[in-house]
Amino acid sequence: MKKKLIARLMQERVDGIKSHEGYFFRTDFDHVLQGVLLEYVPRGVYVMNFRFPLFDPAGPNLMYSNRTPGSGFIGKDELSEDELVEYILSVPELHRSLLTDPPISLDEFIHYLSSLQNEHARFVHAAALVLLREDGEALRVMEAIDPRKIHASRKDSYELLLTSLRQGSSDALVFLERVRDHNLSTFGLVGHR
């Protein structure tokens, strides 16, 4: 499969999207990128409905994404590049994510997070509440997190957010803006607001 050809075909057929290394996402986002991820492996490609909160300090990850119905896998010789793009645009979940549904709001994303049962999702839930200026509720969510279940690489972020909320400072908001800027840069969206 020719990645550059697939990217060009996607750009031609879907107005208002950007692409970066297999990610195809809407440009009308606020805090959450959404779209399609083509995860290339030697024997083909996995097709995923992609979501990523730009305020996640863990950086780009697939915790919020899911494979398309079935296996979400297309073998490298099963479809031409053109047929692969047509397939992507024909899958209802992907079509809605890229083309028809409005961009996902923070409130909708918080509702989605409730289906994920892990401490990092709870942390991201609290971060979303901070962005919505609901600090009291964000503190309640943070205090319900078991700190022993926070990955060592995320302890500093957890502590900063919790301390900021307890002290009523704006450090959490400043931190989340820095995280957003870093993640935008990672996706090649420098200067996007």
Residue 169, pLDDT above cutoff 70: yes
CA 7 – CA 38 distance, rounded (Å):
10
HEC assignment per residue over 83-96: HHHHHHHHCHHHHH
Residues in the chain: 193
What is the pLDDT at residue 192? 56
What is the pLDDT at residue 67? 85
Question: Under 8 Å CB-to-CB from 12, ≥6 apart: which residues?
Answer: none
Q: What is the DSSP string of 132-167?
A: TT-HHHHHHHHHTS-GGGS-GGGHHHHHHHHHHHHH
pLDDT in tens, 98-130: 888 888 999 999 998 888 888 999 999 999 999
What is the pLDDT at residue 87? 93
Alpha carbons within 13 A on the beta-carbon side of 113: 24
